[in-house]
Amino acid sequence: MSNNAARSDFLTSENALDSSTPLAQGLVLNAVFTETADAAADSSTAYTISPGDTFNGSTAGFDTDWIRLDVTAGNSYTIDLTGRGFTPNLDVILQVVDDAGNVLAYNDAIDFFGGNLDARITFTPAVSGSYYLVVDDFSNGSDQYSLKVSAPTPTPAPATMSDIADYLVSGFWQDQGIAPISFNASSGDTLTVNISGLAASAQQLAKWALDAWTAATGLKFSYTLSSGADLIIDDTYSGAFTTHSYSGNEITQAEVNVGYDWIQAFGTSLDSYTYQTLLHEIGHALGLGHAGNYNGNAQYGIDNIFVNDSWQATVMSYFSQVDNSYVSADFAYVLTPMIADVIAIQEIYGPASLRTGNTVYGENSTAGGIYDVISQQLASGTLAEPVALTIMDSAGNDTLDLASDTYDQQIDLTPGSHSSIYGLVGNLSIAYGTVIENVIAGSGNDSVTGNGAANDIWGGLGADTIRGGLNQDQLHGDDGADLLYGDA
């Protein structure tokens, strides 16, 4: 059966819980409890609430209410105590105590001088278990109050690049209720592409983006004017999105649209957001999803699954390096598939044996394709915007040439690492399985760390620190007060 479905930056529906149907565990989320009998003033209290719940109670005279709260160590809980009813601005006192009544936290006003007499405590227990929220009225009057405990929001765990790759390949589609799909192809095969619907300047961007995916997959792209091409890239509609026609799990045709309005707004240079958009959308065309369960828009800290979801990990992310507060990287447009993208696309189309000879990356590139384009534009000064890339290489005795860089470099040849070059932080990545043996550093005060290969590292000018890592390395400080460490 043939289907035609929007698969990228596309509209989805949300499944909602039927509030009339009890949860299997018999729990009610975000429940509201009301004090009927007076809450005890000690740990014998009959009232227990959970994170997310609200407790409505009252105090009279010297009455003090205790409400039990069960919490998990390491999570942070925000507890708000406010007046309600006829006395919404009562002066309340809130405490967190243990079962013996030892006070662990106390607050009697969020902003006394500003007139906000409500109380708030953020509590992070060191030990899981039962604690007690103690409510009192500063005036010892008869007042009504509302006590609410926020449900904790755990910090997403840092993901491995393989975790993110798995989500790109299957997790995203499963979260959308769609089975993963891909072309019936493998590394070395050729897909046909029709880019005739783009203006000439945008056609060049599309060719560069396709070259970048070739450099990661080994898939080849043959250009045609046929409407039956495997992949059609045009600018017919406003915005940027990808659709697929597919049968079962096999893509029969993919269409990438990057609108003329988008191209006019974001430019036609290699270091433009238009180029990165094409790189992203072609990733969708080949079967990759987003790095989180978002589509169309997203906010970091709310919509991300992985704390390190950013362009530094994958071009399929919605978050730039600076949108993400966890990663250490400067803003940069992405010129190649990144580390998680390389893993993901090779999960789909198989491992690629690419650039197996002695290859130079960076300046004076001999890698071909997009790497040569980047090298040429570096040399000519054409790249005006900050850029980031990932090097993927299969074999040979390879060299990273950054000789003209005058900034202080932080270079790490370890597979899976991020380096800082040309004045930016975290903008050069080394794919897993990629071994670069040699480095020619620039004229700044550089730090270079080798890998497990027999490295030949040249520090260049400046006061450099060079660490060889494992194996028998050759370290050259050149001019400057250099520190050389052979390591193991």
Query: Does residue 463 contact residue 480 with C-beta atoms inside 8 Å?
Result: yes
Check if the beta carbon of residue 204 is closer than 8 Å to that of residue 236: no
Q: Which residues pair with 197 in a beta bridge?
A: 234
The single residue of 255, 281, 347, 437 carrying the catalytic annotation is 281
Residue of 376, 378, 371 lying closest to 392 (CA atoms):
371
Q: What is the largest CA-CA distance in the chain?
A: 85
Distances from the Cα of 15 to the Cαs of 18, 29, 31, 151, 175, in angstroms? 9, 17, 21, 21, 11
CB 183 within 8 A of CB 251: yes
Return phi, psi of residue 317, to 5°: -80, 155
Measured CA to CA in angstroms, residue 312 lies from 67, 325, 427 at distances of 46, 12, 7
Rounded Cα gap, residues 430 and 408, in angstroms: 19
Instruction: Say if CB 257 and CB 11 are below 8 A apart.
Output: no
Q: Name the residue among 243, 239, 217, 240 with its Cα closest to residue 231.
A: 243
Q: Which residue has the tokens 């396709």?
A: 210
DSSP H or E segment with residue 391:
strand 387-391
Contacts of 96 (CB under 8 A, 6+ apart): 79, 103, 104, 105, 106, 121, 123, 131, 132, 133, 134
Q: How far apart are CA 26 and CA 87, in angstroms?
A: 35
d(Cα 330, Cα 88) in Å, to the nearest integer? 47
Scanning the structure block, which residue is given the tokens 């400046």? 462
- Residues 354, 218 contacting (CB under 8 angstroms): yes
The phi and psi torsions of 217 (rounded to 5 degrees) equal -115, -30
- Among 174, 115, 137, CA closest to 57: 137
115 burial type by CB count under 10 A (0-12 exposed, 13-18 middle, 19+ buried): exposed
Residue 281 annotated among the catalytic residues of the structure: yes
Q: In 60-199, which residue ranges form alpha helices assigned H by DSSP?
A: 161-166, 172-175
Burial (Cβ within 10 Å: 0-12, 13-18, ≥19) of residue 436: buried
Separation CA 166–CA 141 (nearest Å): 59
Going 170 to 176 to 180 to 183, the CA torsion angle's sign is: negative
Q: Report the distance separating Cα 57 and Cα 49, nearest Å.
A: 13
Residues with catalytic roles: 281
